[in-house]
Structure 1
Amino acid sequence: MMTTACSSLFGDNHSPSPVISFVMSQKEKPLLVSDEYIFKLNKTTTTSKYWICADIACSAKIHTNTNNQLTKMTGEHSHVPEKETIAVREFREKIKQRVIEETTPIPRIYDEECAKATLSTAAIAVLPNSAINKARRAVTPIIPTTQLFDIPGPFARTLRDNTFLTIDKLITRRQMMILFASDEQLKMLFSAETILMDGTFSSCPKIFDQVYTKHGIKYEQSFPCVFGLLPNRLKPTYQFLFHELKFIAIQMKLDFAPKIVMSDFEPALMGVVKTEFSAATHSSCYFHFTQAIYRNI
């Protein structure tokens, strides 16, 4: 919310100078706020803006210049101040701004802001949700229905504007592989003597087969380094994955040659690991080991 103060235009009888601020309407139009009253824009000229009280029965008016600095006030308000209405609008703007800038689920944003707000329960209850959901949809790409899609720029880079989309390639005519990793994560993976690999299926987008992650061990801790979307669990796909990572390592003047590789017992993967990392020890983690035993009981 932008706030400005009026310069000394009203003489000693109007001191201190009124402070004005601005909030947005549900239709994304600016509303001027002064002394807990709301004004809407009535007319604009090349030098001035003319605001009228949002209550149609009220005669109070405000003039500002084109820089939104207060120049004149006329009339008296015929109604009580709208303190809670203004607070609700400010509250909604905070939520909307977070919804646009973050990927945090909307209900969580709503709960966090409600916990910080000083609004009454009745005021919060009447807040419209449609505008908030609409704001999120406006900045969120449509969920694709095939693997043939482009990734928008903001989703291909980190919050610090560094590259995050590492691989975005078709491996067959209609099947794509996507890998996300920052340069720092790739350096950690390529320099790790022990790497962990695993796929998950329950949280995978429907158009892909699995979310595949690679972790590097450093300081005796496991750090996620690469997040991938794979179209299947076939041997050529895993070969493509490792070839691409090795090529990236060469470009970074590093060597992707771990000494220990840990994964599940997937036959296609085990064969590729044996070929691509012939000098490495390939073992399974305890979780996958017990799973394999249980399946054969």
Structure 2
Amino acid sequence: MDNEEVFALPDHLVDHDYFLPVVYEDDHILREEEVEELVEEEEVEELDEEEEEEEEPIVRVSETYRLIPGVHNRSRIYVDNLGFKYYKRETKGQRVYLVCERQKQRNQYCPSTATVSANLNDNRIRLGFYHDHPPRVIDLNVPFLRETIGERGIDPAVTTSFMRTLYNNEIINHPEAAPNYTFIQAQERVKKMRRRRFPAQPLDIGQLAVALNEARNAIYALTVQNPPSRFFQQALVVNGRSVGVIFANMDAVNKYREELATVTLVGIDGTFKTVPRVPADLKCLLTIQVVFKSVSFPMVYALLGSMTEEVYAALFDIVRNILPLNYQRICFITDYEKALMSAVQQSFPESQLRCCWFHFTQSIVRYCHRRMNSVCNLIRTNPVAARVLRMVLALPHLPATRNDPRCPFSMEDGFDAIMDYTRQFPPIEQGMRNFLIGYVQYFWLLQVGPGLISCFGEEYRTNNYLESFHSTLLTQMQRHPNIWNFIQKLTVLENQYFVEFDQARRNLRIRDQASRRERENTTTVLAGYVQQLNRDEDLTGFLRRAGHRNDGYVQGIIGPYPQDQ
């Protein structure tokens, strides 16, 4: 038969080739070897097809989903078992309707939709339209780390403001997500979240006072106790102009009224480093603190836009109405700001005013450290000049006036003893004359006066507890924070002191005793020096001994004292 002979096929099989006969050109009979080769090739092809089928993914359909935190605070994103992400479009009845994440991207739009049950225990997902793209590879652990850092970053109860600390703590708790979420990402996110959640920043103190009285901003005007009480008290108005805002916890004042009646020491001091930049007319945070059972407690806080005697006096008139103290027994400690001292004397005439020994020391050392003065170099190189400086710094440990029953000498007697000692060394007298006569005597003894400088016989010679509070403020708030963040952190600190005051009145120890022991030790040592002075009447020896009580601070500024030859 011819190889090209045509077979007649039924019509319904014309388009198919499996009915055609197999025609071999060379031979109608296959050799045995060829048959075996064909069988082996078919087996290999079948194995290859099976392997290809095994490599294909078993799951191709979206069946279940899980919820992960979204970018926005407290938002949620749906992720199915294939890794596709969905946003919620709407909820109708018991069904939640979802759309593919790419429907927010015009250039990569995906028509896929899905629905899930409103019951969170049912995690099945049903697709409407299928995706036209593969799922994006994402780290499902990162959203949980991102959300945790964000929530802690805006939580007012989290007192640390250092993002690095928050980040380091949370990457320990989320080790799987840490490799894919950087500190810079966390820092930028928290900054944006903080800015979005705060009210608009007021432009001046007047607007700040108005904002604090608005109901929508009540969280910033109240304490954090439960139930809360009013923390923002009032605006400070002088001559029709708002020059400050005053904060105090009146519930705490009323609760501790009996204890406040026993207070004898009150410190007043201001700080500038933590004052918010906006409103721009804010200049200072002034704090009034009481000392109760050897612990200081801030009671009144005032953000001020001016620091004149008139403003201070207006503030203290309000403070007098807030704090129920026995003012005839009170001793106020301040720095040497003239307007502040005058306002205290004007508003509290029955009280005593004493200025801080540390601020006296600081002022003396800073004067010597100025470039225009040659005193600093002389002190650094000459042991006699260094000794004279220490004697000057010891003057406040003498009584302000003569004939005190505890010591017959005064600060003026001490200054005369310093001048007598200096005259024994003419080059030193010449080099330090302007410092001793023009500055120490003329300014401190004649203008300020021994009555404000002397801390003779006092246990509390400084207001360093206020400086410690300012240091805490700086740690918690950092420099010049947002005004609303500042107030929020201030309420957290106020709550700390509210709780600790109650602990102190129940005789619980709430502070490290090291500073107290050091203060008491200094008081004991100085009392011993006074007894020795009363015995031998050697003022020079007393001043030389007492002058070493603040060597650490002085040498930290000026440098090591020269050694005696």
Fold agreement, TM-score > 0.5: yes
How many residue pairs align between the two structures? 274
Distance in 2, Cα, partners of 1:26 & 1:49: 19
Q: Letter of the 1:64 partner, please give it.
A: S
Greater percentage in helix: 2
Give, in angstroms, the shift of residue 156 of structure 1: 1.4
Distance 1:140 1:74, change over 3 A: closer
- Partner in structure 2 of residue 90 of structure 1: 144
Counterpart residue type for residue 97 of structure 1: E
Q: What corresponds to 1:32 in structure 2?
A: 78
C-alpha distance in 2, partners of 1:288/1:128? 42
Higher mean alpha-carbon deviation, 167-176 vs 212-221, is at: 167-176
Q: Does 1:156 align with 2:221?
A: yes
The answer (yes or no) to whether the contact 1:165–1:179 under 8 Å persists in 2 is: yes
Cross-structure match for 1:201 = 272
Of 277, 298, 320, which residue of structure 2 is paired with 1:224? 298
In the alignment, is the contact (CA less than 8 A) between 1:171 and 1:177 conserved in 2?
A: no
Indicate whether 1:48 and 2:95 are aligned: yes
For 1:85, what is the secondary structure of its paired residue? coil
Please tell me whether the aligned partners of residues 26 and 131 of structure 1 are also in contact (alpha carbons under 8 angstroms).
no
Matched, 1:63 2:128: no
Superposition deviation, residue 222 in structure 1: 1.6
1:86 is paired with a residue whose SS is coil
CA shift for structure 1 position 35: 6.3
Q: Which moved more, 1:149-158 or 1:31-40?
A: 31-40
Tell me which amino acid in the other structure corresponds to 2:203. T
Pick the aligned partner of 2:246 from 175, 179, 203: 179
2:154 aligned residue (100, 124, 127): 100
Aligned to 1:214: 288
Quote the offset at 1:110 in angstroms: 3.0
C-alpha separation in 1, matches of 2:275 and 2:73 = 37
Are 1:138 and 2:223 matched, yes or no? no
Distance 1:143 1:25 in 2: 25
Which sections of structure 2, spanning at least 5 residues, go unmatched?
Answer: 1-63, 103-108, 368-438, 441-565
Q: 2:350 aligns with which of 279, 285, 288?
A: 279
Question: What is the rounded CA distance, in whole Å, between the counterparts of 1:107 and 1:128 in structure 2?
Answer: 8
Q: Secondary structure at the match of 2:77?
A: strand
Aligned to 1:233: 307
Q: 236-245 or 94-103, which moves further after superposition?
A: 94-103
Residue number in structure 2 paired with 1:23: 69
* 1:12-36 superposed Cα distances (whole Å, 9 cap, x missing partner): xxxxxx8954522459753135669
Q: With CA pairs under 8 Å and 6+ residues apart, which has the higher RCO, 1 or 2?
A: 2
Give the number of the structure whose alpha-carbon radius of gyration is greater: 2
Q: Which residue of 2 aligns with 1:291?
A: 362
| 1:226-261 deviation per Cα after TM superposition (whole angstroms, max 9, x unaligned) | 221122222221221121122234xxxx34525211
Taking structure 1 as reference, are residues 167 and 89 closer, same or farther at Cα in structure 2, changes over 3 Å only? same
Please list every run of 5 or more consecutive structure 1 residues that lacks an aligned counterpart in the other structure.
Answer: 1-17
Question: What corresponds to 1:114 in structure 2?
Answer: 171
Structure 1 or 2: more strand by fraction: 1
Aligned CA-pair RMSD: 3.8
Q: Residue type matched to 1:119 in 2?
A: E
Assess, with a 3 A threshold, how the Cα gap between structure 1 residues 195 and 92 changes in structure 2: closer, same or farther: same
1:44–1:145 distance in 2 versus 1, CA, 3 Å = closer
